[in-house]
Structure 1
Amino acid sequence: MRLSQFSLVDRMFILFIGLVIILSFPATLFRLAGIEFVADYYFDTVFLIFTGLALANFLLALNVRVPEPVFVISLVGFLVFIFAIGVVRNTEDPIGGLRYFVLPLIAYLLLIGRSYLLFFITSERFWKLVMIMHILGLSVYYSGILGPMYPGIGETSIAYAAIFMFANGHPLLLLAALVMIFLEGKRSVLFAMLITLAFIRLIKFSAGGRLLYSAIAGLLALIVLGVFLYVIADGAGSSTTVARINYINPFSDQFDLYLGSSGRFGELESFWQGKTVMEILTGSGSGFKYEWDLGFASSQSGEVKGYFHMSIANYIAVGGLVGFAVFIYLAAFPFKASQLKLPSKQRMTLFGFGFYSIVQSFFGFTLAVDTVALIFIIGPAALLSLHTSRSRNSSTPVQPQRSTA
């Protein structure tokens, strides 16, 4: 869809979100290179702009049908609950600890009454531009212009481009995107991408069919993964990406779960060691702290932390079963893409974006820092609500409205 087909406000969202996606990879490169402005200001500035846009959209959409009201009530209730638990358990900063869990609410407010997601699931030109930015970034990285950096430089924007190319039948561009994902060396992006490609066709099946497809696809994926890990197990001296994968490869002599998980396994063990059953079930509340005494580097051992890299672990740690339920609620949103009256390719793309974001959150801090990922996760539910409200007056599927609001 062209920008001119959208309302003025939707166009503003498209331009800003599109700019954030396009700049995500170079911004990450500059941050890892220690460039001060990007490291200290860029990402905070993006977050503040997203927050401002969310509040502005909330005011503009006061008369619009609210998507998934049960979710927003549950989310607000969850924030109150973990704050109360934090106060009861006397955590260090129960108010400050809420900052890791407000981003879904911001993404939700950004989506009320808006159809701008249709641009991102239809614009091939945009995702080609994203791929070009990654090519340029990789050229700079491998040239050494920015000096030595962390070996895992990947950004999720290239995964979204790969999903778009897969869903829209562009195998050569998909292959190019997968090669770039591998060269960027971010294992969480690579594994989440492969899992998404294995399960993206779930959107085409009914509930019963999804179960059967998941079993078959899961088995095939495990076989392919097992063969791949076995083949690369002796890959000493090969690429950095292969070397890092072998840290979590049970067939490899280099297997080391503490080192291979980049400390994530150590975080989990450090936090939950010694916890009672009641503490696990009800959570520790917002503002919790723990001593990361299993750091894989001596400089990190003993560090006091208030979060986990794994998003689901954060929700369970602060809210126990309640936190787990909120996470599952979020994880179910991408499947609502199947109910939209959109072309099959667009529904698959929308589902793929959200499904990938959920899978990637199992490896990273996604749900606390990545507004775009949460927009893609909640987006199908928001578009479905928009369609439902408009279909009451017309049989026309969701289309962008050309208006000033």
Structure 2
Amino acid sequence: VTVYDLQMRKVAYLENAFDVSYDAPMNALWSASFTLPADDAKNSECQPLYFVEIHDGDERLELFRILPSQTRRGSDGATITYTCEHVLATLLDDVLFLYHTVGNLGVYTRDVIQYILSKQLVKRWQLGTIQFDRQFEYNWENENLLGALFSIPQPFPDEYMWTFDTTVYPWKLNLIKPSEQEDAYIRYGVNLQGITRTVDPSKVSTRIYGLGYGEGVNQLTFADINGGKPYIEAESEYIQKYGIVQTIFVDRRFEYPETLLARCQTLLDELKEPSVQYTVDAAEIYALTNDPIDRFVSGAMVRVQDADLGIDIKSRVVKVSKGNLIGDPGAVTLEIANKSQDIAGSIAELRNRMHISEVYAQGATNYDSHDFADNCDPTHPAVLRFWLPAETAR
């Protein structure tokens, strides 16, 4: 563990650090921790928000910053444990004050990310590789930069993965399409120690209603291009297996029925089957073999085989955890799921809470009202003139 100050100057190397651990979830903030003896003189260098570089064996893991510390006294002496978060959390320090609207036609994903990064007071992050060119419109109000950043790919129908390069400064941020190639193998009798499978059918949906721009009876649906039906259904085998499970999807960013229908179809493909997650206790033997196939990283596609349990699956690693890099560097816990980003989560929230402000016709603020009466016919329309104050337009 190496410590750097706020100007990225090296201030200490912690040769007495122990119980070094980390959690590396995909598309979320990484965390780490380490412990020092309380009488270690280098505790004075571990100041809040200082940066620490952690290595996993001979491989550099990542760059973190120190958050809380906890002092403990026990039978084995006094220790201080430091909890750290990935330096991506420095984007929590800056905000989008008041209201910001970015995107729409002609403004691509790269432009939106660049807009967010331009709001840094201290330019710690720069734009790297962006493999998406969507043209969604985003609205943020009093949001921190990290929250705004993580919201950008949420509407994407494709898999995505945030990656970073903290070996350069300013640090580089990438948004890429994860590889579909098998990057690692886990096999019983080789590196598989234990496995737990969890099947969660609570978010299964076999029929999705789609609603887009507008309100009430004027709200956009795709019924006109879908045989009059404002919903789509899964194939008959899924309906026979799980029944008709209905969900309403509301997203006012969609102004065209074709794109709304495409988005709902992507969601249905994800939701028509239960999510399956595996928790795997494995032995990382990369230090012995130096073969990349034996190294586990978040976002990698991995094949797990256990003939006794009849398991032979290919899925993505959504989280990598190690509890003791020094004492037991080969012990690793992996979370492997058939959905790399759980887009079903927002659907489940819709079902549970129904997002009242999104689906109620009276969700809009009533600024003014007028009484009006006049005669009209098909060739002589009635005309109502009214004044809109400038502050009504956002």
TM-score (ref. length: structure 1): 0.20
Compare relative contact order (CA 8 Å, sep 6+) and give the higher one, 1 or 2.
Answer: 1
More helix by share: 1
Rg comparison, structure with higher value: 2
